[in-house]
Structure 1
Amino acid sequence: MKHYYISMLLALIPLFIHAQNTVSGTITDSENSQTLEQVSVYIPQLEKGTVTDANGTYLLKDLPEGTYKLVVSYLGYETYSISLDINSGANTFNYAMAPSAIEIDEVVLSTPFHKLQRENVMKVEQKSIAELKSNGAITLADGISNIAGVSTVSTGVGIGKPVIRGLSFNRVLVYTQGIRLENQQFGGEHGLGINDAGISSVEVIKGPASLLYGSDALGGVLYLNPESFALSGETSGDVNLNYFTNTLGYGANAGVKTSGEKLKFLARGAYASNADYETGDRTGVTNSRFNEADFKTGLAYQVSRFKTELRYNYNFSKLGIPEEIGVQDNQREPLLPNQEIATHILSSKTNLFFKKSSLEATFGYISNGRKEFEEHHHEEEGEEEEHEEEGPSLDMDLSTFSYNLQYNPQWGSMTTIFGVQGMHQKNENFGEEVLIPNAITNDFGVLATSHVHFNKGDLQFGLRYDLRSINGESSGIEGDEEYIPALDKNFNSFNAAVGYRADLTNNILFRLNLATGFRAPNLSELTSNGHHSGANRVEIGNQDLDSERNYQVDLALEYENQHIEVYANAFYNNVSDYIYLQPTGEFRDDDPIYIFDQQDAKLYGGEFGFHLHPHPLDWLHVESSFDMVFGELDDNTDLPLIPANRWNNTLRVEWNTTKGAKAKSYAFATLQSYFDQNKVATFETSTPGYNLFNMGIGGEIKIFEQSVGFKISGNNLFDKTYISHLSRLKTDGIANIGRNVAFNLSIGL
């Protein structure tokens, strides 16, 4: 046994020995050969990077042998990537960057091969949190609705759920800290549950991503990239302050991070508070107020062939659930009904790098506690009296353990990933009301996907098998109207995907993707039996539901040169056994009863747009995008909650102010046009179109020799009174938010 342990230690020693492999070089301007300072040189898979010094030189140290993607990026220049062979000892790579007015092209992290956006086979939209903030977003859910093809089902301002090409709820999977977010997202009154502080960027995969992520990714994936650690040898901090005029909302977050050669640390805390929002006619929407506290931290250790990181996020939210127009005040403590949501997210990611392969292991644990408080009515002496509930009427805890193991061998121009993914989930009830029963859910999936690079194109394909089991306890007394019978169901599915990306010319890019997906019915759809606050209805599950299955065809064509970008994305999505809510015409305690039913459906549409920055007016940007989606059931009726067609037009100017500023100053004006939505489900009503006008300005200024970033944006400046088709308050005739001016200050420490 002693010799066994000695052998194991000897085998592990190479992982922790300081490798002397380095990459160094000089970055210059291709037009004048001048060296460039502060250029980012980054290896995504290793998560190691640096910036060039005053002489344009850089040095990356302690690298493992192998072939890795190296990305060179700098504001005002075309982003460049190359597969670089890192050999033992000193390696050299010099590069001359080409000027470009196009924004920096970022590495896509939601797909497994770490490609730049334009190199990726799948079309992935990526936006930084800073960009979403510059548009005046109050919450993260509000911000992502500015991405073409993405909308939000909202309950007021504080509660929002992403909609990707007409699909939402459990059909859109959310990833944070590299793990799937499980926080009882089945309900419309359940918000996204993530604060934007400590999130660097958002990526959206439009269409079935079941090959990569399994069940619930049938409609797409919202992938939240956490804040990165500091570069080796650097320490930094910042404070960010926000104020919103409409909700009298204020918020602040502060963070610090420091990194040595091996050990890295970061932490960020945030708090936000908002009163009731006001509509365009200055009516306060009673109980739309909400408060949120958030804390994120991370610790990482990295040597040549080994890196590991541990991240933790705690979020506590207290949200009012608006139901009617009532009390008009600026109080911040939610009235009844309201929710209290506490979420703990713990994740770890470990990588081992070998010469021709790598291994990644990601584990996650999420504890989500949801409490809902309601008014109770009691009859005493023939009169009905209203009493506040001392304890929560609904009290559910959801705990989820997830794992994701991926082995990545490289064979010439082909890179392959073999993966094993799964989760174990437990739902428990502690309140007097039970919407869904105590239950255990287990997922297990295996996958293989490959990427083959050709001279003028890339091919990606893969296959996956998944198995899900759901076991639920009975709840209540058999025969009562709120009784929930026991549940024992199993679902399984094979899924495949193939995609091809080609450079038709130096300026024209073509993508074609075909993929299948599946979604096992969730616990709510199978077992729900109770009243849903905010929706003001009773939802009853159906244990006979089958899995949804779909196939989707995506076609994308893009043209790009130094001064213009044009794109057209079209899709057709066929969904078998689409699950939807259907009113029965009956009532329980004056609330309508809805049941879950299913029927084949189809969705189709696309996104189209252009971005013009004409020479020599490179400071001028004209942007336009149009997105549309149509959804129909097999009986030729329309699907519910399909967003209206939308046309966005933006005029934007940029200029340099402070020398050494991290970003250019900017000003913009945007007109958002939402068209009439007359293609509605049988239990919906049509929604008239409307126009919203927004403006903003931002940049950096010097205050007492301290750089301060600022953003000022005004949304719905003409105070338009309107109702979004995706607002869950539409049935009550309650309008969306009126004029709102957002102020943001960012101070580096």
Structure 2
Amino acid sequence: MKWMVYAVTALLFSTAEAQQINERPCYTGTVISSPGNIALPAAVIHVINTKEQFLCDSFGRFRFYKQPGRYLIRISHTGYADQLKEIILPGEGNIQLLPARQMLEAVVVTAVAGATRIKRTPVSIAIVTQKEMTRTTSSNVIDAVLKAVPGISAITTGPNISKPLIRGLGYTRVLTLYDGLRQEGQQWGDEHGVEIDQYGIARAEIVKGPASLMYGSDAIAGVVNLIPGLPASKDQKIHGDAITEYQSNNGMYGLTASIGAHPENSLWSIRASHKSAANYRNRIDGRVYNTGFSETNLSALIGWEKPGRKNYLQANLYDNFQEIPDGSRDSLSRQFSYQVQEADRDDISNRPIVPASDLFSYAISPLHQHIQHYRIYQKGTYPIGNGELSTLFGFQQNRRREYNHPTLPSQAGLDVQLNTWNYELKYNFQEWQGLKFTYGINGMLQQNINRDATDFPIPDYNLFDIGSYLLVKKDLRKLVLTGGVRADSRHVHWNNFYTQTDPATGFIKKANSMGNTGSLAFPAYDRQFSGVSGSLGMVYNFSDLLTVKANLARGYRCPSIPEIGSDGLDPGARIYYIGNRQFNPEFNWQSDLGLFLNYPDAELSLEFFDNRISNYIFLQKLYGPNGQPLETVPGNFTYAYRQGSAHLYGAEASWLIHPTQIRWLHFQQSLAWVNGLNTDAELLKTEGEDAKYLPLIPPFKTNSRLKFSAGNTKKDADDYFLQLELETSATQHHFYAVDNTETATAGYVLLNLGAGISFRNRKDVAFCSLSLSVNNVFDAAYQSHQNRLKYFEYYRQSPNGSAGIYNMGRNIAVKAVFNW
């Protein structure tokens, strides 16, 4: 009888539980193809802004349970374009997917109140997928992103250092985010790159235009949000991936591997990466000495998820030994030379020639940089009241050491440690009469410390930043209206900073007090900066084919610490910086207009912008009474920050042709043009035409790609592709010519080739992808206008007529990606 009692009891409990489940709010439906209305088995449904995924059954049917409300979901299936759909729980409905060639809208979560479709936000936004980044040959994450987006470029210092520019503005005007957390790593330096593992990024979102409304200071030009990959499958199994690649030009090899799992209510992952390279080459300079690097990254994630709630904790470690060239060479042979004496005794014309063995070596030279970046942060969302609260709290530590003493290699010239505490609270209110409100508070607390160094370009300082904002959105079906306002406050403080001579080494060192031999390097400073920013935009969808966007935004940027406080040498940049303590914040007004057409066989986008900046800060090269560049420290040029006004305007266009009747053909072309004018009346009066244009403005550029692809030609293979790419850069005659700060740059054309194949298992899951690419097929000798190495020249003329260092020559790359 006992077994009957147990059986009846179990049946009663299971029946009660089933009844309880059936009473929970749910959404049911079927995923089908269009045209044809054929059920699509194993389609994946992802709830945006969560890591929750649901798998359709063998008949394409699905059912999932969540709290009542509105949700944005993305539906994916092999061979079909992702579909976005806003649903209301409880409810039901079928979802149609179009063939992959018929491109649909993507999702973006950057610089908007919540998950929003690109087509329904007035901000100019671009998405770069992991697939696009994987197929791009690059040495760093910024280069992997910028090729795919018109209007985005980079300031480079060799293969592994790229600083993003958006529409002609960069440095502390572009805010780089890691999973929404602002990246803080001494980004003011010319050769200070982005300390993020390129192999760990699954997606990049780029906002073109002021994003101060969401992020405050430093987003006056836009935002680059690099989003790491996270485990998504809920099959209770451990999954992973591995990538290995090799590049022929500088012998770069890269390795990365990750494992992770996503059980029902939790997830975890671990990733390790390493890449190393020797000196790169081109046919003008040969091997460019001191351009190698050795970079290691580690990351770990744990997370918890429940219906309506999520909480993640992630930690990252970045460690990079980075060489920086100085461009010194023999005046006749043009062979590179290296420094053996300290700056006060160094004679560049008599330096020894670099041995051939060192040019091909992976060993890091004694004069290099060591950059370490540690990051730990918490990110979560929680239902509170009728709305949703999002939190983001993080801590970062950036340690930068630049070694520039050949007689004492272990002594760093620059040694700075930057500690940053980030915080953000954001509340999305329940929709009220068609209005969606978001209120947020974010900012940071920052402390910079000069450690064991001999050069001090910036002082020890403390910074506190806080801002609050209110966003509102009204969706009227065809018309979407958005607006918002933000107020910011930043307090910057430092005490008197003294230096003195170290009797043991003879170098300058940091002093705690004046002392007998001390001197005041940075007088005390205390100032409060504030600013108000805002935006107003609209989107009008005339039809499914035509969309028009317009946006007006006011941005705000507080002067960076070097701009107001620097007075010293940055050894890596080989520049002596001079700041100005009287600078005021930058403000800008930018207007954007966009036209977007989406046909079954083609897509077209056309965007215009106009950006006017007051209190614009820029660098100007200084010259001495003899007409020669001023060298406050021998062998290093001197630059001073200036403040004036600027006007930038331009346009970007792109079109994509993918005929539905010729599915193996894919043609894409983009172009970008920006003009930057100096509108400082005083400077124009004294310097004339030389001061007409702004520095670091990219020339007119086009990018054309012709791709041939095929799929399912073999049972075990899919996604064959062959790609031809043409990069064109026009001659740049618009440059800042005052005191030869910049010079004209010749145009160039580069041909790149790529091919690849993916293999799938019996479950139709890609487990291996192989690719081969050749960049700069004809080994063209060229210099990018934003290549800093172009100006690394010590002689007025050379035997071959070239000056400065050229960009990388032909580069053949092979890459293998494995998934399990």
Which moves more between the two structures, 704-713 or 731-740? 704-713
Q: Is the 8 A contact 1:625 1:649 kept in 2?
A: yes
Alignment-mate amino acid for residue 742 of structure 2: E
Alignment of 1:317-356 (within 5 A): 317-324=320-327, 325-326=336-337, 327=354, 328=356, 329-353=359-383, 356=386
Question: In the alignment, which residue of structure 1 is the partner of 2:746?
Answer: 688
Match of 1:596 in 2: 641
Match of residue 240 from structure 1 = 243
Partner residue in 2 for 1:22: 26
Please name the residue that 2:225 is paired with.
223
Per the TM alignment, residue 233 of structure 1 is displaced from its structure 2 partner at its CA by 2.5
Equivalent residue runs for 1:314-713 within 5 Å: 314-324=317-327, 325-326=336-337, 327=354, 328=356, 329-353=359-383, 356-376=386-406, 387-409=407-429, 410-432=431-453, 433-476=455-498, 483-585=521-623, 586-590=630-634, 591-634=636-679, 635=684, 637-657=692-712, 664-682=719-737, 683-701=741-759, 707-713=767-773
Aligned to 1:714: 774
Tell me the equivalent position of 1:727.
Answer: 787
**C-alpha contact 2:551 2:591 (8 A) present in aligned 1:** yes
- Cα distance in structure 2, aligned partners of 1:512 and 1:169: 26
Question: What is the aligned counterpart of 2:808 among 726, 737, 742?
Answer: 737
CA distance in structure 1 between the partners assigned to 2:385 and 2:710 by the alignment: 45
Deviation of 1:533 (Å) = 3.2
Q: Distance in 1 between matches of 2:716 and 2:390?
A: 37
SS across alignment from 2:787: coil
Number of equivalenced pairs: 719
45-54 vs 609-618, greater mean Cα deviation? 45-54
Secondary structure at the aligned position of 1:388 is classed as: coil
Given the two structures, how large is their TM-score scaled by the length of structure 1? 0.92
Contact persistence 1:189–1:533 (CA under 8 A): no
> What 5-or-longer segments of structure 2 have no aligned partner?
1-19, 328-335, 338-353, 500-513, 624-629, 685-690, 793-803
Aligned-pair distance for 1:465?
0.2
Instruction: Please give the alpha-carbon distance, in whole angstroms, between the structure 1 residues aligned to 2:206 and 2:390.
Output: 22
1:334 Cα deviation from its structure 2 partner: 2.2
Report the Cα distance in structure 2 between the residues aligned to 1:289 and 1:20, rounded to whole angstroms: 59
- Paired position in structure 1 for 2:349: none
Q: Which residue identity is paired with 1:532?
A: D
CA shift at 1:335, angstroms? 1.7
Matched AA of 2:482: Q
Partner letter of residue 672 of structure 2? Answer: D
Is 1:174 the counterpart of 2:176? The answer is: yes
Residue in 2 that maps onto 1:32 = 36
Instruction: Give a deviation string over 1:409-438, Cα, whole Å, max 9, x none.
Output: 122422111001111000001123211111
Q: CA deviation at 1:473?
A: 2.5
3-state SS of the aligned residue for 1:483? Answer: strand
1:42–1:440 distance in 2 versus 1, CA, 3 Å: same
| Aligned mates of 1:481, 1:134 — CA distance in 2 | 54
8 Å contact kept, 1:155–1:534: no
- Higher radius of gyration, 1 or 2: 2
Partner in structure 2 of residue 106 of structure 1 = 106
* Change over 3 Å in CA distance of 1:704–1:408 after alignment to 2: closer
Partner of 1:12: none
Partner of 1:52: 56
Alpha-carbon distance in structure 1 between the residues aligned to 2:105 and 2:520: 53
1:532-584 deviation line (CA, Å, top 9, x unaligned)? 23433211111011101001001110111111011111100000010011123
Q: Secondary structure at the match of 1:266?
A: strand
More displaced 10-residue stretch of structure 1: 522-531 or 205-214? 522-531
Cα pair 1:66 1:354 within 8 Å, conserved: no
Matches of 2:318 and 2:762, distance apart in 1:
35
Q: Distance in 2 between matches of 1:527 and 1:503?
A: 49
Give, in whole Å, the separation in 2 of the partners of 1:355 and 1:43: 21
Q: Secondary structure at the match of 1:212?
A: helix
What is the rounded CA distance, in whole Å, between the counterparts of 2:761 and 2:479 in structure 1? 50
Q: Pick from 186, 192, 210: which aligns with 2:212?
A: 210
Distance 1:497 1:685, change over 3 A: same
User: Which has the larger displacement, 394-403 or 406-415?
Assistant: 406-415
CA contact (8 A) 2:425 2:441 kept: yes
Percent of counterpart pairs with the same letter? 28
Partner amino acid, structure 1, of 2:62: Y
**Cα drift, residue 42 of structure 1:** 1.6
Q: Match of 2:291, SS?
A: coil
Change beyond 3 A, Cα 1:658–1:239: farther
3-state DSSP of counterpart to 1:251: strand
CA shift in 2, pair 1:34/1:179, >3 Å: same
* Residues 64 and 353 in structure 1, CA contact (< 8 A), matched pair in contact too: no
Cα distance per residue 1:566-603 (max 9 Å; x no partner): 11111000000100111231331333321111001011
Deviates more, 1:149-158 or 1:301-310: 301-310
Tell me by how many angstroms 1:697 deviates.
0.9
**Is the alpha carbon distance of 1:662 and 1:317 closer, same or farther for their aligned partners in structure 2, counting shifts above 3 Å?**
farther
Whether the aligned pair in 2 keeps the contact of 1:230 and 1:257 (CA below 8 Å) is: no
In the alignment, the residues of structure 2 paired with residue 166 and residue 638 of structure 1 have an alpha-carbon distance, to the nearest angstrom, of 11
Q: How far apart are the structure 1 equivalents of 2:520 and 2:282?
A: 37
Which consecutive residues of structure 1, in runs of 5 or more, have no partner in the other structure? Answer: 1-16, 377-386
Deviation, 1:121, is 2.4
Please say if 1:67 is aligned against 2:105: no
Alpha-carbon displacement from aligned partner over 1:469-491 (angstroms, at most 9, x marks no partner)? 11023223699998222111111
Deviation per CA, 1:497-525, whole angstroms, max 9, x where unpaired? 01111112331110001000011001111
Equivalent-residue separation in structure 1 for 2:518 and 2:476 (angstroms): 64
Could you report, residue by residue, the CA deviation over 1:654-690 in whole angstroms, capped at 9, with x for unpaired residues? 2114779897332110111100001000221000000
Single out whichever of 578-587 and 401-410 deviates more from structure 2.
578-587
C-alpha offsets along residues 261-308 of structure 1, whole Å, 9 cap, x if unaligned?
Answer: 111111111010111111134711101000110011111101123211
CA distance in 2 between counterparts of 1:658 and 1:347 reads: 46
Contact 2:175 2:222 in 1 (8 A): yes
Q: Report deviation, 1:84.
A: 1.6
- Decide whether the 8 Å contact of 2:462 with 2:494 is kept in 1: yes
Structure 1: distance between partners of 2:75 and 2:643: 49
**More deviation, 567-576/36-45:** 36-45
Contact 1:321 1:336 survives alignment (8 Å): no
Counterpart position of 1:382: none
CA distance in 2, matches of 1:228, 1:689: 41
Find the aligned partners of 2:376 and 2:189 in 1 and give their Cα distance. Answer: 23
**CA separation of 1:65 and 1:81: change in aligned 2, threshold 3 A:** same
Amino acid at match of 1:627: A
Deviations 1:431-474 (A, max 9, x none): 23211111011001010001111121211100000000110232
| Cα distance change on mapping 1:145 and 1:81 into 2, 3 Å | closer
Moved more, 637-646 or 471-480: 471-480
Three-state SS of the structure 2 residue aligned to 1:36 is coil
